[in-house]
Structure 1
Amino acid sequence: MKDSLLADPLLGTTLTLAAYAAGMLLYRKFAWLHPLISAPLLVYLCLRLSSISWETYQIGGGMVSFFLGPATVAMAVPLYKHAMRLRRMLPSLLLGALVGSAAGLIVNASCVLLFGGTSEFLRSALPKSVTAAVAVDLSGWLGGSPGLTAALTVLTGLFGSVTGPWLLRMCGVSDIAASSIAIGAAAHGIGSARLMSDSEEQGGLSGFSMAASAVFTPILLLPVHAWLL
């Protein structure tokens, strides 16, 4: 019976959802403890204490990753609701996303080269500022490690979500549209979800910037890909 339970995809799926629900409860009490930090730790502890292998967990846990793409597409809902304002701001939004995408690639590459990172780490770190669904594919295309890219992308989103609004205020950026575009381009879906909890309009602007960055980044990486080859 134990073997059949371990082979059931519902095990990994249920464990993932339960860990995230627990992480949300902790987040309500401890604002500094983001559920994307606590939930993986809870899953890890459960696997260690129950001696369940990673491969067994992934039978069902990997199913959750499948919904990453649809969840990203769902960010289009606030875009549709605020389409009129977005249309008026379209040139500024596109320019902001383009500059943000280019700046992200330059900063990512500069940090890796400055600290003597390996070629594989450079290829994995370059796309970490775009949404994970795109970053992982770009990492494989560049010859990096998709797993490492996924971890770096989540950490980037968490850092931007927690510190982004504060850093922008410290830099004197008070315009809502400008800050939303910046967070969408730098902290992708996690940062956009953070803004969505404050304002649907901010979440919509950030979501547009995230989507535009997902288009601009692969284009900007074309010459980089040719150089790395």
Structure 2
Amino acid sequence: MVAIEHLWSSLGATPMFWLAVTLAAYELGNTLQRACGGSTFASPVLTAIILVASIVGMTGTDYRVYFTATQLINFLLGPATVALAVPLARSARLVKENVLGVGLALLAGSVTSILSGIGLVWLFGGSRAVALSMAPKAATTPVAAAVSSQIGGIPALTAALAIVGGILAAVVGQKMLAKMNILDWRAHGLAAGVAGSGIAAAQVAARNELGAAFAAVGIGLNGALIGLVVSVVAQL
């Protein structure tokens, strides 16, 4: 038993170990999704989160140790998001042609997300800090956490809400739109962006370049719009 504990202590302190665990969990999630016929309910991101969180919890590993060991993945989130600018540049003309519809959809989506989040917290008797943490949840996670810290919210709670919302959008978003007979990839991409879901945006980007362009527009402009609207709401 002592030898096992010593081995675990050595492995747990190795940055490459947690990086390998995270990548293996995601690959296992991919395998599970393929086994389920590509179902969005078997999201590899959700599977990886559950597996890694379980391992971190069972081993008593401090989250700061895990986060430090997986900084490479965190760093690559930036270039991955910026890469959405490639299909956006290729489809710039079509985006310009739909600028009015995009603007109205962004405004409706952002305002609805902000007001519904605050309303739910007030309805159940939550505090002002929790309400302000809910308000920017539809922005992509780094933006949402930054806005939350500026208006008096709880950044960690906002980040958790944004991640959960992003996973939910990736799991049910495309199926919901399909059931409503909304098959236009512009709508699918913009919906993923307005939901602030990088996971859903990546799913759309993998299937359609035009959808990827509108997802990029949605993520970028929605983050900026939520920052402005939430700041005004916080003053009220």
Query: TM-score w.r.t. structure 2 length?
Result: 0.84
Q: Is the 8 A contact 1:189 1:207 kept in 2?
A: no
Matches within 5 A, 1:1-229: 2=7, 5-30=11-36, 31=39, 32-171=41-180, 173-227=182-236
Residues 109-130 of structure 1: CA distance to partner in whole angstroms, max 9, x if unpaired?
2222222222222121111111
**Aligned-partner residue type, residue 100 of structure 2:** P
In the alignment, structure 2 segments of 5+ residues that lack a partner are 1-5
Q: How far apart are 1:91 and its partner, in Å?
A: 3.1
Q: Measured at CA, do residues 20 and 7 of structure 1 come closer, stay the same or move farther in structure 2, by a change above 3 Å? A: same
CA distance in 2 between partners of 1:41 and 1:140 (Å): 27
Contact 1:11–1:57 (CA<8 Å) still a contact in 2?
A: no
Post-superposition shift, 1:105? 1.0
Q: Distance in 2 between matches of 1:34 and 1:47?
A: 20
**RMSD (Å) for aligned C-alpha atoms:** 2.3
Shift of 1:13: 2.1
Q: For this pair of structures, how many residues does the alignment match?
A: 227
Contact 2:170 2:197 in 1 (8 A): no
**Structure 1 pair 181–96 and aligned structure 2 pair: CA distance change class (3 A):** same
Q: Distance in 1 between the 2:207 and 2:19 partners?
A: 29
Indicate how the Cα distance of structure 1 residues 4 and 101 shifts in structure 2: closer, same or farther if over 3 A, else same: same
SS in 2 for 1:163: helix
Deviations 1:162-185 (A, max 9, x none): 222333344564544334323321
| CA deviation vs aligned residue, 1:139-189 (integer Å, no higher than 9, x gap) | 211222222212211111122222223333445645443343233212431
User: Contact 2:189–2:214 (CA<8 Å) still a contact in 1?
Assistant: yes
Asked if the contact 1:181–1:206 (Cα under 8 Å) also holds between the matched residues in 2, the reply is yes
The letter for the 1-side match of 2:14 is D
Give 3-state SS (helix, strand or coil) of 2:125's partner.
coil
State the secondary structure of the residue aligned to 2:228.
Answer: helix
CA distance in 2: counterparts of 1:12 and 1:207, whole angstroms: 30
Letter in 2 for 1:26: L
Q: Relative to structure 1, is the Cα distance of residues 143 and 13 closer, same or farther in structure 2, using a 3 angstrom cutoff?
A: farther
Change (3 A) 1:115 1:78: same
Q: Is the CA contact (8 Å cut-off) linking 2:185 and 2:210 kept in structure 1?
A: no
> In structure 2, how many angstroms separate the alpha carbons of the residues matched to 1:125 and 1:18?
32
- Where 1:67 maps in the other structure, the secondary structure is helix
**Do 1:184 and 1:206's aligned partners in 2 also have CA atoms closer than 8 Å?**
yes
User: What's the TM-score once normalised by structure 1's chain length?
Assistant: 0.86
Q: Percent identity?
A: 30
- Contact in 2 for aligned 1:94/1:212 (Cα 8 Å): no
Does structure 1 retain, via aligned residues, the 8 Å contact 2:185–2:208?
A: no
Give me the whole-angstrom Cα distance separating, in 1, the residues matched to 2:183 and 2:30.
29
